[in-house]
């Protein structure tokens, strides 16, 4: 089902988006896809890109292996135990008394197909885990930790990943208390990892004698679960007014690999997001000729590498005909998203090929 959306995005220039100070604007004549990416009108290049492209909570994917558990807040605790110096349990009030920060974080499921909707970017609020771990005392001999959710979900991490200073606990999402389906009262975020390493309804962090596999890892998914470097084209717009600008079809699978779109000749704007594992996106390269020539897209600069980068590029294409649009991401170490058609099992960074037909304006 397609419908028009009210769009919400952060104020330009890096200020924080908060529930109460939302700019809303309705795009005229534009079909909006439902899901992770509200379509933005990005055709005016005299305007900077929005600092943040947010997924509304109602459109944020939910991936829960065992459904949403009932959590009793009176008895809920976060317990840090196992191979630690001194086990400690924290109430939610104690965790909320820790220094709190707002932070943007993009969550993606390792099973998300290129162009899929199992990805979203939200503004979360919570504290860092490291000060709690320091109070508990982590012996250098403890190799790994298991992270448990109240639903029985478990995953595990090497100790170094858990001790990363950017590991976060979150109890608010997009200006509201963390919703039940997204892990209330508390979830954890681990830098550079796919969603399976980020337990919701977090209850227990346990030092263990060896790094083990958790729920999804035992079923064959990567135990490293590092996010693959990827640029995802998400929308294509024409400068024609009123814009026909069809959105890329919802939930498009990389197995199909083709989006076929028809637009009038002239200026067209391709836009999307890009993400890597704990590294910034230094460039997004785009092509309108199936990869023969590449251009550097305009992009924003998120404050952390844990939030997706927003990018766009405008081509002037006066000739009717068929075009193939692609995008690929580059990280500061110079590594480019590979241009292959192989779909890795442990996450997907396949390059989407958009088949665009340009026709004479009516
Ligand atoms: N306790 C618990 N945490 C979990 C899961 C789960 O099933 N149970 N699913 C994981 C997976 S596979 C993903 S992709 C993310 C999804 O988070 P979301 O539902 O808030 O989008 O949560 C992760 N944390
Ligand atoms: Mo996932």
Instruction: Give the residue from 181, 271, 182 showing the smallest Cα distance to 235.
Output: 271
Alpha carbon 30 to chain centroid distance?
Answer: 24
Report the C-alpha gap between 271 and 294 in whole angstroms: 15
pLDDT tens across the length of the chain (362 residues): 222 222 222 222 222 222 222 212 222 222 233 456 666 778 889 999 999 999 999 989 999 999 999 999 999 999 999 999 999 999 999 999 999 999 999 999 998 877 778 899 999 999 999 999 999 999 999 999 999 999 999 999 999 999 999 999 999 999 999 999 999 999 999 999 999 999 999 999 999 999 999 999 999 899 999 999 999 888 887 776 554 444 443 323 222 334 677 788 888 888 899 999 999 999 999 999 999 999 999 999 999 999 999 999 999 999 999 999 999 999 999 999 998 766 666 888 888 888 888 988 76
Q: CA–CA separation, 283 vs 280, rounded Å?
A: 9
Q: What is the atom index within ligand 1 of the atom nearest the CA of 150?
A: 1
> Hunting for tokens 């317990």 — which residue is that?
79
| Cα–Cα distance for residue pair 159/162, rounded to 1 Å | 5
Compute the distance between CA of residue 200 and CA of residue 181 in angstroms, rounded to an integer: 9
For the entire predicted model, the pTM comes to: 0.86
Q: What angle do CA 293, 294, 296 make, to 5 degrees?
A: 155
In the reported structure, the alpha carbon of residue 197 is separated from the centroid of ligand 2 by a whole-number distance in angstroms of: 8
Phi and psi torsions of 141, nearest 5°: -85, -10
End-to-end CA distance of the chain: 27
Which one, of 208, 194, 189, lies nearest residue 129 by Cα?
189
Ligand 2 mean position to 196 CA, how many Å? 5
Closest CA to 114 of 339, 279, 362, 294: 339
Shortest-distance ligand to the CA of residue 178: 1
């Amino acid at each position: 089902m397609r419908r028009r959306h009210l769009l919400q995005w952060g104020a330009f220039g890096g200020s924080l988006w908060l529930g109460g100070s939302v700019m809303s604007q309705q795009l005229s004549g534009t079909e909006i896809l439902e899901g992770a990416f509200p379509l933005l009108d990005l055709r005016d290049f005299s305007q900077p890109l929005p600092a943040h492209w947010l997924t509304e909570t109602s459109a944020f994917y939910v991936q829960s292996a065992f459904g949403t558990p009932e959590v009793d807040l009176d008895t809920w605790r976060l317990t840090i135990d196992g191979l630690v110096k001194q086990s400690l349990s924290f109430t939610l009030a104690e965790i909320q008394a820790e220094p709190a920060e707002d932070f943007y974080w993009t969550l993606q499921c390792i099973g998300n197909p290129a162009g899929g909707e199992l990805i979203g970017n939200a503004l979360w609020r919570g504290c860092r885990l490291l000060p709690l771990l320091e109070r508990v005392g982590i012996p250098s001999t403890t190799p790994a930790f298991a992270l448990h959710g109240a639903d029985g979900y478990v995953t595990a991490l090497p100790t170094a990943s858990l001790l990363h200073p950017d590991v976060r606990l979150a109890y608010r999402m997009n200006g509201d208390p963390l919703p039940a389906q997204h892990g209330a009262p508390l979830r954890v975020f681990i830098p550079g990892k796919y969603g399976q390493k980020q337990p919701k309804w977090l209850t227990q962090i346990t030092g263990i004698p060896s790094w083990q596999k958790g729920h999804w890892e035992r079923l064959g998914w990567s135990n490293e679960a590092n996010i693959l470097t990827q640029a995802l084209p998400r929308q294509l717009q024409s400068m024609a007014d009123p814009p026909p600008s069809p959105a890329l079809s919802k939930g498009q699978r990389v197995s199909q690999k083709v989006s076929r779109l028809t637009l009038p000749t002239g200026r067209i704007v391709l836009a999307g997001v890009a993400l890597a594992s704990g590294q910034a996106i230094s460039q997004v390269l785009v092509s309108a000729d199936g990869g023969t020539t590449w251009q550097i897209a305009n992009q924003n600069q998120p404050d952390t590498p844990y939030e997706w980068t927003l990018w766009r590029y405008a081509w002037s294409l006066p000739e009717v005909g068929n075009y193939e649009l692609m995008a690929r991401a580059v990280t500061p170490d110079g590594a480019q998203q590979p241009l292959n058609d192989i779909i890795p099992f442990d996450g997907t960074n396949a390059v989407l090929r958009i088949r665009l037909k340009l026709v004479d304006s009516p």
